[in-house]
Each structure stands twice: as structure tokens, then as C-alpha cells.
Amino acid sequence: MYCADAGRAPRGARSHHNNVSWFARLRGLRFGLLGFLVALISLPSIGPSHAATDAPAIRPATVQARVASLVPMSATLTRTVGYRQISGAVRWNSVGVQTKAMTVGTLRVLAVESGTNLPTLLSQRNYPAQAATTPTRFTFRWPSAAVDKAMAVGNRIVVTATQHAPTSDLPTPTPVYTTDSYVTVVQVQAGAPRPAGIGTRNCSNRSIAPPADGLTPMNFDLCDLTGASLTHATLAPAGPPSYFRKANLTGADLTHSLLSHAVLSGSLLAGANASGADLTFASIAGSLAPRFTARATLISNLSAWAARATGANFSQSTLTASSLQGADLRGANFTATTLTNRVILSFADLRAATFTGSYLDAPTMLLTNWAAADLRGATYVPAVSVGADFRWTTLCRTTWFNGSQNNRDCPWPRTRR
């Protein structure tokens, strides 16, 4: 059943990386009880520690209600033979400018692909937010050939306005965060229905800011924040958890933001960028996060349990004491990433994931699928505990640490009759 030489593929082996032999499945059944018991033992440590029983319930909003936006905006999409154009006007909030130094306005245009929910950033501009009575008018124009695929009928297209204080990516002794953000999302082309119950609430009448008393949780459940520019924003201040459950953060810029103890479980994070953000004890459990990015980021105690994060990018990051248990990480990028202090990879789908040059310090890997994954040049530190080695994983067309191919669990070639 297994190759005598782990570096040599059995003759006639199939080329599909997701095929697993019946004996490998039998082995999974054989140790299924063991895996079940280990999973039960580890469950208390992998869930979000902040998901307390007194967490506020999510109140569904099936249709976005009309609200008085803090940053009113209008926009329309025009199609001609030669170009596509979005034009409109936005009125920046004078009170925010005068009392909170919110002197920057960011406009972002996103197209969200139907079916995959993957965003394409078509344009981004910063404007001076002034305390003026006249609105800021804007026009975005693209040649038809350049954007026809992204702006195809059936894809959702939005213009998102975010008013915030000035930010800088220059290094500072301690992180500097903004305290208020006003976000307005205007849809100029409807797309296919989004995943059920996600992003159904219009939150443009609320400031994304910590509560004044420091005791009340921030609650932005179900908010539509597609394409929001929340870089350096305070999204989870010290104190009670902040809730963004089932929020739509597709294509949002979360770089260098404060998300410590934030609960984003069940949210839509497709194409969102959280590189450099503080994700300590944050939860993206059960989220839909294809191509989620957190590059060169120190990530501690993150819960990504059962997240669907195909194509995610964690390259050059350090993950410590975090749980990726049961996550769908097919094609994810962990190049030069450090996994330390018992990161949980059990039951994760890592098919075709890249771990070249990474450092794996005894992660828990019970029934992890490594088919077609690339481990070249990685450093692996084994552990003696159950599930902390490759014995209980699936290896087929897996590029091993020394560059050879490990086909231990590939199926036998079928004999023609």
C-alpha cells in the first residue's frame, strides 16, 4: 500500500492530488476513534476564548434599510462602447473634520466576482475631507477592454467612501491607531446573492469607533463594509470583545489595524488584507475568507477553526498558539512562515499549500491533508505527543523537505481487466 521509497512514486500512480487510496481511508477509520477523542480533548483550547456565553445575539436584517449616512454619497455606472465610468458626489462629515481630525476621505471602487466573492480593486483615491457645504465630485473611467471581465453583468460593483484621520505606514515605537471611521457603501451594479445572512445591514449611520464608556462591546454584526479603508483603525479596543459576526468585509483594507479579541466568525473576508494587524485572540472561525492576506504579521492565539481560506497568504508571518483546525487552506501561501507553540493543523485541508522555507515547531497534525503541498527547505521540529507528526496525515505527491516527492498515501494503480 505504501511506497517502499517515500521519495519515489509508485508506477502508474494517478496524477490527481486529491485521490487517496482505500487503505489510507481505512487507516483513517481505524484511528478515527483516537482522532475523535483527541479532538474532544482539544476543543476547549481551539475555540475563541472570548466567545462568552453572554455574547450578544445576532439579529438578522434581511434587507438593508435606508439610513441617514454620516458620509452621504451617490454614484452611477455608465457603459459606452469604449469605456466604463462611475461618477458621483460625496459629502464629507463636517463634525468629524472639526472635532475628530477626520481630514482624509478615501474612495475605493471594487468589483466582486459572482460565485467566488473574490474582489478586484478597480481604483482608489484619497481626498481632503473638508468642512464644506459643497460635495466632492468624482469620476472614475476605465477602457472597456481593461475592466470588462471584472465589471461583467452579474458581478457586484460598489463605491466605498471611508472618512478617517490621517495615517502613516512609517514605523513607530508603538502602534498608532485612529479612533473613528465613517464608512458608506454605494452599490452601482447588483451582483449574485451573497452568502445567506452576511452583510445585510447598512451601517453608514454609525461611527466605527470604541464606545465612550469603554465597557460596551463594539457591535457591527451583519454590517456591509465591502471595500472599507480601515487601515490603522481601532476595531477592537481594550476591554470587551468587538463583534463583526457575519459582516461583509470583502476587499477591506485592514492593514495595521487593531483587531485584538475581535470576533469575525462567520464573516465574509474574501480578499481582505490584514497584514500588520494586531490579531491577538481574534476569531475568524467559520468565515469565508478566500485569498485573505496577513503577510509579515505576528499572529498570536488566532482562531481560524473551520475557516474557508483557500489561497490565503500568511507568508513571512509568525503564528503562535493559534488554531487552524478543520480550515480549508488549499493553495494557501505559508512561505517562510513560522508556526510555533503548538499551532493546531488537525483536520485542515492543506492540499497544494506552499510551506517552502517555513519553520514548523511541532504543530498538531491529526488527519491533516498534505497532498500536493510543497515543504521544500522547511524545518520541522517533531514532538512526542499524539498527532504531532506526519504519521496521521495524508501524503500524496507531497514535495518533501529535501525536494523529493512523498507518495506514501497515493492509491495503487488499478489493473486493467
Burial of 96 (0-12, 13-18, 19+ CB in 10 A): buried
Tens-digit pLDDT profile for residues 14-61: 344 444 443 344 444 444 444 444 444 444 443 444 444 456 666 554
- Looking at residue 9, its pLDDT comes to 39
Backbone torsion region of residue 377, taken as left when φ is above 0, otherwise alpha when ψ lies between -120 and 50, otherwise beta: left
The closest of 137, 145, 179, 144 to 161, measured between CA atoms, is: 137
Tens-digit pLDDT profile for residues 180-199: 999 999 999 999 887 878 99
- Looking at residue 131, its pLDDT comes to 77
State which residues of the chain have pLDDT below 70: 1-65, 384-387, 413-417
Answer whether 276's CB lies under 8 Å from 255's CB.
yes
The closest of 11, 339, 192, 82 to 324, measured between CA atoms, is: 339
Q: Tell me how many degrees the CA angle 322-328-329 measures, rounded to the nearest 5.
A: 75
CB-based burial, 293-329: b 16+ in 10 Å, e otherwise: bbbebebbbbbbbbbbbbbbbbbbbbbbbbbbbbbbb
Answer whether 42's CB lies under 8 Å from 386's CB.
no
Tens-digit pLDDT profile for residues 147-180: 999 999 999 999 999 999 999 887 777 889 999 9
- Looking at residue 382, its pLDDT comes to 87
- Looking at residue 85, its pLDDT comes to 98
Cell of 241: 470583545
Answer whether 380's CB lies under 8 Å from 357's CB.
no
Handedness of CA 92, 117, 155, 272 (dihedral sign): positive
